[in-house]
Amino acid sequence: MKIELLSYRISLLRMDKEDARFQTLGQLHERRKQIVRLHRKKIGVMRIAELSGLSYPAVRGVIDRLNGMERQRSSPRYAAGNVATAAT
């Protein structure tokens, strides 16, 4: 576990800190995937923010959207195929 975490830190430290407005959609997608991987490894939000160079709200937003998608997938409405209907 420590070796994997160390390799993540090294790869994150190498990541250029660029303005997200100038990144391609592929680069933005990779950043989000990286946040999700670290979050699933039980790394805290502040630590992910430090390692990735993103702000706390940016990291928290990705994690919140991920959790919302996971809750939606586990709901009975999603399983029944009723996700297209709007909640009223």
- Within a domain: residue 19? no
- Within a domain: residue 87? no
- Within a domain: residue 31? yes
- Within a domain: residue 7? yes
Q: What is the 3-state secondary structure (H, E, C) of 9-64?
A: HHHHHHCCCCCHHHCCHHHHHHHHHHHHHHHHCCCCHHHHHHHHCCCHHHHHHHHH
Q: Where in the sequence is the domain holding 50, given as residue range(s)? A: 2-14+24-80
Please write the tens of the pLDDT for every residue from 45-79: 999 998 888 889 989 999 999 888 766 667 666 56
- Within a domain: residue 86? no
- Within a domain: residue 68? yes
- Within a domain: residue 88? no
Q: What is the pTM of this model?
A: 0.58
- Within a domain: residue 36? yes
Please write the tens of the pLDDT for every residue from 4-15: 665 665 565 555
Domain count, the chain: 1
